[in-house]
């Protein structure tokens, strides 16, 4: 008999993090998985820099216990940290 470890429990309960890019607000592409939410945000900021006309929709996609959750970014989320200084 094998007992679950804290690491196994953490991995089981950990969310998978992705960036969903709707190219031209039509064609979905999935980027990731990323280690955490901070990496998703960094990739979203990179994508926004590469799309100054904002033709592509950017969304967070998290999967926890096989349940996907999609959330939109707030405009302020995508502002570059360098701009805030």
Residue in 50, 52, 71 with CA at minimum distance from that of residue 60: 71
Per-residue pLDDT at 75: 86
pTM: 0.78
Residue with more model confidence, 1 or 45: 45
CB 37, CB 45: distance < 8 Å: no
Summarize pLDDT for 13-55 with one digit per residue, the tens. Answer: 688 999 999 999 899 999 999 999 999 999 999 999 999 899 9
Q: What is the pLDDT of residue 79?
A: 87
The tally of CA atoms less than 13 A away on the side-chain side of residue 77 is 16
Q: Could you give the CA distance from residue 56 to residue 50 in angstroms, rounded to a whole number?
A: 10
The per-residue pLDDT for 34 is 97
Give residue 14's pLDDT. 81
User: In this predicted structure, what is the pLDDT of residue 80?
Assistant: 76
Alpha helix (H) ranges present in 3-80? Answer: 6-13, 37-49
Give the chain's radius of gyration (CA, Å).
16
Residue 30: per-residue pLDDT: 97
């Amino acid at each position: 008999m094998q007992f679950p470890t804290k690491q196994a429990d953490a991995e089981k309960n950990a969310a998978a993090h992705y960036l969903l890019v709707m190219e031209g607000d039509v064609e979905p592409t999935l980027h990731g998985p990323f280690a955490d939410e901070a990496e998703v945000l960094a990739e979203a900021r990179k994508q926004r820099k590469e799309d100054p006309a904002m033709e592509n929709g950017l969304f967070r996609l998290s999967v926890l216990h096989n349940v996907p959750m999609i959330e939109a970014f707030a405009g302020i989320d995508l502002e570059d940290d360098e701009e805030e200084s």
